[in-house]
């Protein structure tokens, strides 16, 4: 059942009271049905908005008649069970002035449009990242080329296969691996230990998924990289400064250094 707007009911009640007052002052008592019809009509005129549908006026009239004859309970039952008459489509309910702008007061502004754009901390890899890396690679390549033109590499004389240097050491960046060969089997020192170290470094970003960039929040990653660097740095220092003839362990302050860049 369609509900009559509250402001129309109030205006109809006021018009009905005025009609009853005028009827009482004039000394005549018109029938209740005619007074109700005039009050409903005056309510429509005072409303200044859309006209009350005819089926609602008919329903209220029949309810008054039944209330006058048999009580309020049968009237309410009749209003609840009365069929809605067929007719044109009913207009949508509007405000007192016929507008619907007041309906926006119950809608949050955020659901209509976003005033501020949502901040993001992501950029595209191309061109923002790759352009910077490409320019950095070009700068370092040009620097290396210019530096190699003016500064010669500290190379030794040609190798003599009849005279093997003692001790024979690998370049400094391989001395850690050469130091491992003096302690373990070549399969363990050359494959197993380096393979495990590389696997742990590859697995580290998937284990430590902390998005923070602060060092105090990345204890696992910093600890893992520190252990790796310290382990390799100690092996390189021992192979560089504490290995003498025959690759035996010596003290550099006693027998000197056996290391050339």
- How confident is the model over 147-182, as pLDDT tens digits? 999 988 777 788 888 888 888 888 888 889 999 998
Rounded mean pLDDT of the chain?
76
The domain locations on the chain are 6-83, 165-261
CATH number (1.10.287, 1.20.1260, 2.10.25, 1.10.10) of 165-261 reads: 1.10.287
Report residue 197 as tokens: 């170290």
What pTM does this model have?
0.42
- How confident is the model over 36-93, as pLDDT tens digits? 445 555 555 554 555 677 777 788 888 888 777 765 455 455 455 555 555 555 555 5
| 31 band by pLDDT with thresholds 50, 70 and 90 | very low
The secondary structure element, H or E, covering residue 193 is: helix 193-207
pLDDT at 164: 83
């Amino acid at each position: 059942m369609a509900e009559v707007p509250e402001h129309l009911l109030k205006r109809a009640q006021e018009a009905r009271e005025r009609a009853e007052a005028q009827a009482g002052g004039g000394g005549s008592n018109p029938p209740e049905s005619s007074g109700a019809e005039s009050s409903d009509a005056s309510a429509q005129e005072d409303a200044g908005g859309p006209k009350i549908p005819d089926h609602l006026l008919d329903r209220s009239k029949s309810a008054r008649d039944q209330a006058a004859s048999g009580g309020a309970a049968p009237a309410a039952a009749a209003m609840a069970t009365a069929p809605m008459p067929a007719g044109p489509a009913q207009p949508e309910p509007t405000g007192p002035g016929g507008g619907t702008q007041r309906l926006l007061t119950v809608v949050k502004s955020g659901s209509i449009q976003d005033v501020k754009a949502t901040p993001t901390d992501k950029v595209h890899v191309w061109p923002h990242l790759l352009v910077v890396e490409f320019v950095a690679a070009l700068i370092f390549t040009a620097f290396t080329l210019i530096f190699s033109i003016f500064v010669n590499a500290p190379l030794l004389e040609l190798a003599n296969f009849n005279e093997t240097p003692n001790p024979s050491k690998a370049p400094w960046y391989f001395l850690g691996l050469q130091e491992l060969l003096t302690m373990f089997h070549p399969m363990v020192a050359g494959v197993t230990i380096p393979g495990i170290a590389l696997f742990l470094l590859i697995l580290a970003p998937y284990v430590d998924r902390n998005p923070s960039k602060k060092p105090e929040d990345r204890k696992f990653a910093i600890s893992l990289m520190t252990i790796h660097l310290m382990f390799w740095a100690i092996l390189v220092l021992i192979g560089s400064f504490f290995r003498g003839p025959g690759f035996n362990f010596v003290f550099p302050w006693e027998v000197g250094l056996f290391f050339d860049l």
